[in-house]
Structure 1
Amino acid sequence: MLPQEIKHLIQRYKDKPLESVVFKKFPENVDVPLLLQQLEGRRFIANKMPSWNTFIDELVFPSHLAFQQASSEQTARYKASLLQIESLVDLTGGMGIDSYFFSQRVKKLVYIEQQSNLCSIASHNFNVLGAQNIDVINTQAEVYSNTMPMVDCVYIDPARRNITGAKVVLLEDCSPNVEAILPHILTKTRYVLLKLSPMFDIEMAVRSLPNIKEIHIVAVDNDCKELLVVLDVLHSLPSCTYHCINIAENNQNQQHSYTNELVQGVHIHYTSQLSTYVYEPNVTILKAGCFSSIATAFCVEKLHPNSHLFTSNQLHIDFPGRIFEVIEVVEFNKKAIKTLLTPIKKANVTVRNFPLRVDEFRKKTQLKEGGDTYIFATTVANNKKVCIICRKINQK
């Protein structure tokens, strides 16, 4: 697909910083934007798609915008693991990463994409990767969904930028308009897997979408990446299962699941007294807001409604987040800063529900960043401001 001259230049500059290539002068017949596009694509594959590295010299890469919404290998594999079906339609094919990993789990997959150049690139790459069970169709999702045959599952990852390039989070502002096409799609499939922005309001999804069976909040190394909604035509009960999954590079994945029915009416116990351990939930727990479920599952007490830190005398090594052993707790005032924090030259500082930002706290305490000491500056149940000095527990 690529001109021979571009292929030669890729090999010449593949290990050079992209910035140094941008300002180089090339002959007029060289498509410089295409060259930069391919060099950027190689870096994306190296960082986000390790299993494709073997084929990197044969793959072709689309524009930067396609990379921005593309899944990483970790999140694509997770989505594919949710499927136990034979056929799937991907209505928003894009770069083709999700389609490829879905194709490893199904017998037949249809890739739909309205941009012809993305279709050409995806078709080429699928052939390079040996994915022979994917049909590539260049059309709009709205058009194909009107005439598509029955299928086990439909996957939709709507574009979350409008025509001006600004980010959007409402379903009706995305492309395709999920709310508009969903009623007809649900007559052609049992399952719909919908990928939403991690910024999307979960409660809004529950209110606006029908037949929700599962919601998956997916993070990679504590960075929230995707909000996945599974619709099941046969699921009409109000119950919904939530899965909070934090995928880690060291394979120490953290997962917490619960149903909305089980946490209704559950009361959290708040405390001002620190126990042996402090528990800091990971980002998926914070996004889900499932604090009553966490408190019940791990028998932990919350320090304050808005602090989102827990404490317990028991060590729960599988807690979905970070765990710290408490060394000392001091009330935040001038005397405490002078007598206790002065011997500590550096520490890792986190502020939760506290009047100072981290930089302001460091300026006030003269603490440098780093070291083995961790300090949580927070508010406890009696509304006192405290500094929790602790050390991190290894959860491996």
Structure 2
Amino acid sequence: MNLAEFHSEAFQQFVLDHLEEDPALLLLKYQGKTAFDLKAAVHQIAARKKADKKLPSWAQDQRLIFPVSLSIEQSSSEETAKFKAGIQAGGTFLDLTGGFGVDSFFIGRKFQKAIYCERNEELAQVASHNFEILGPGKFHVFRGDGVEFLEKSQEQFDLIYADPARRGKGNQKLYKLADCEPDITANWKLMESKASKILLKVSPMLDISQAIQEIPEIQRATVLSVKNEVKEILLEWTKEAESQELSILAVDLGASEQAFGFSPEEESEAKSLFGEAEKYLIEPNAAILKAGGFKIFGERFSLKKLDANSHFYTTEEFPLDIPGRVFEIIQEISPKKAELKKQFPKGNVNVILRNYAQGANEFKKKFGLKDGGEDFLIGTKSPSGFKVFWCRPVKS
């Protein structure tokens, strides 16, 4: 990568002038007509488009350089990086798997010294350039394997962070920690010996219980979602922790941050009260469902559950400050074409089916429905069998 190219006035002006245009069309229109690398300029335009919502402050900074698209897709968002930055502050921070450098930057600026490691030369070059703009002199860049750096380092770190690569041969997705690169399980004792705290970002598809089996020392697992979509799972270990018992935290970064914490023991000992649907249906946040807080959620908010496997809850009284979506039931509705056509003549209704006789796509195709509008059809199993409820969301 020729960084001098990116600093040329013509290159930067071209990117700035064409940010709203189709990158593919720009390649065709300006091929052979520029004194700079057109492909590199068009790539920057495409990358900024991808980063516009995910990394808004970086996308708006014309001085920054963006890497290949996959690195942007796999990087943390600004929201989730800022959340992680609130977990720890201190003297020295080490990122073993720096990548694009988003987490390195947001976490590292809370520390007196921040070290970024990355084996990919181009990514390390991009990150080094961006760090000097965002935090001049703050970040130390090591271009090489983070585990090798750690093995040779004589330092003790307040925080060691890693986001192991989760794609195998043929772009296969990997969900066990031992299958990722680097293998955190094989290097755990090394990390533990040189850190006061370890923070791992792992796949949202990871089975938390499987991760704890692989690394029993983990003390906290945080399921992090943004606007009710699970984005990542964070695993924490602290040397001086008051308790070595596992705690689970489900956090949603929506309009307002919602958090729901529990222990595996609390979930195991909680009792579910089952019943037919009352005035309101409640769907817990996606982070809570991923975290497995099924029984404790109902018990803590005094809710009845429709079925052990439905994960919909109900109450007669409006639930305040609940970490989930609340729907008011208009009526139970018969899943027959004539009835659905009568109630939704244009076919616009949002469909949620869980623990139901068929899937949502099959249901919509069968009855000529498409998601849209304010109304919802929620299908699930209750004590008396499969039911479909016509509902409208209510703001908590």
Same fold (TM over 0.5): yes
CA distance in 2, matches of 1:247, 1:19: 34
Contact kept in structure 1, 2:267 and 2:294, CA below 8 Å: no
Q: How large is the RMSD of aligned CA atoms in angstroms?
A: 2.2
1:344-389 Cα offsets, whole Å, 9 max, x none, are 434322111112333443355455543332221111123x111112
1:3-43 Cα offsets, whole Å, 9 max, x none, are 12533432342221223224345229753442232112222
1:334-349, aligned counterparts within 5 Å?
Answer: 334=336, 338=338, 342-345=342-345, 346-349=348-351
Q: SS of 2:372's equivalent?
A: strand
Match of 1:269 in 2: 273
1:58-98 Cα offsets, whole Å, 9 max, x none, are 11111122112111100000011111433210111111111
2:62 is the alignment partner of 1:57? yes
Q: Provide the identity percentage.
A: 29
1:341-360, aligned counterparts within 5 Å?
Answer: 342-345=342-345, 346-360=348-362
Alignment gaps of 5+ in structure 1? none
Match of 1:145 in 2: 150
Contact kept in structure 2, 1:58 and 1:128, CA below 8 Å: yes
Q: TM-score when scaled to structure 2? A: 0.91
Question: How many residues were matched structurally?
Answer: 387
Change in CA separation of 1:174 and 1:366 when aligned onto 2, cut-off 3 Å: closer
CA distance in 2, matches of 1:339, 1:122: 58
Q: TM-score when scaled to structure 1? A: 0.91
Contact kept in structure 2, 1:60 and 1:125, CA below 8 Å: yes
Aligned amino acid, residue 14 of structure 2: L
Contact kept in structure 1, 2:225 and 2:252, CA below 8 Å: yes
Match of 1:105 in 2: 110
Change in CA separation of 1:372 and 1:108 when aligned onto 2, cut-off 3 Å: same
Aligned amino acid, residue 319 of structure 2: H
Residue 343 of structure 1 and its aligned partner are, at CA, apart by 3.4
CA distance in 2, matches of 1:11, 1:333: 53
CA distance in 2, matches of 1:339, 1:53: 49
Match of 1:323 in 2: 326
Instruction: Tell which deviates more after alignment, 238-247 or 67-76.
Output: 238-247
CA distance in 1, matches of 2:188, 2:209: 18
Q: SS of 1:60's equivalent?
A: coil
Change in CA separation of 1:50 and 1:12 when aligned onto 2, cut-off 3 Å: closer
Alignment gaps of 5+ in structure 2? none
1:22-171, aligned counterparts within 5 Å?
Answer: 22-27=27-32, 30-54=36-60, 56-148=61-153, 149-171=155-177
Q: SS of 1:224's equivalent?
A: strand
* 1:373 aligned to which of 372, 375, 379: 375
Change in CA separation of 1:261 and 1:159 when aligned onto 2, cut-off 3 Å: same
CA distance in 2, matches of 1:30, 1:162: 36
Aligned amino acid, residue 49 of structure 1: L
CA distance in 2, matches of 1:95, 1:6: 22
CA distance in 2, matches of 1:298, 1:205: 29
